[in-house]
Amino acid sequence: MTHLIRAGLALAGAAIPFVTLLSPALAGATAQTGGVAIPWGDWLVALLQPVSAVLVPLAAAAVTAGVARVAPWAASLLTRERIEAAIRAGAEYGQNAVAGAARGRTVSVDLGSAVVAAGARHVLATAPAHVVRKAGGAEGIATRIFRALPLDPQASVGNVLAPALAQLQGREGHGAGTVHRA
């Protein structure tokens, strides 16, 4: 099928320049001899109408095939971007939601786990389910927010992330589970 399409395109591509180059030469030769003028413009239009009727659907099919090949890659890129945007929004939300923490300033160890937990709960409540799954669920989101925050040098996984995960698991275990939008 692809070979037929290519052959048709090659034939149409070769015929158009030939007709356009040949027709003015014939028209000029008949004009010098005082002969009959050849309506080559009408012929060209008559030739291009069926050709365009075939080429336009073929071009649309080629564009569709190209999009289908790029779609998985583009979907992966867009999902990655949505995850990063959700993590940034969660980190900012956590910094704004916890008293004593402020966006743009270093988060102390005392407030770090509360900021991470608040940000993760916000992402879990607002992000689409497929974004949450791709980010690694509640634990993956909390870990990414932990990495995104400007924390004190004394902050570690043990004294910030582990308590935040415990807060998230404790809240999910008490019936306040997360709601994901599809």
Q: At what angle do helices 137-148 and 40-97 cross, to 10 degrees?
A: 80
For residues 172-181, give the mean pLDDT.
44
Q: Where are the domains of the chain?
A: 79-173
Q: Is residue 181 helix, strand or coil?
A: strand
Q: What is the pLDDT of residue 62?
A: 86
Give the model confidence (pLDDT) of 32-81 as tens digits: 556 677 787 888 888 888 888 888 888 888 888 888 788 888 888 888 99
For every residue of 16-32, which 3-state class applies, written as one string? HHHHHHHHHHHHHHHHH
Q: Is 163 exposed, middle or buried (0-12, 13-18, 19+ CB in 10 A)?
A: middle
**Cα distance between residue 91 and residue 148, in whole Å:** 7
Looking at residue 181, its pLDDT comes to 41
**Residue whose pair of structure tokens reads 């270093």 in the numeric block:** 106
**Residue % of the chain over a pLDDT of 90:** 37
pLDDT, one tens digit per residue, over 96-124 is 999 888 887 888 888 999 999 999 999 99
> Does residue 173 or residue 54 have the better pLDDT?
54
Model-level pTM?
Answer: 0.58
Which residues, other chains included, contact 107 with Cβ-Cβ below 8 Å and sequence gap of 6+? 95, 101, 115, 149, 150, 151, 152, 155
- Give residue 27's pLDDT: 54
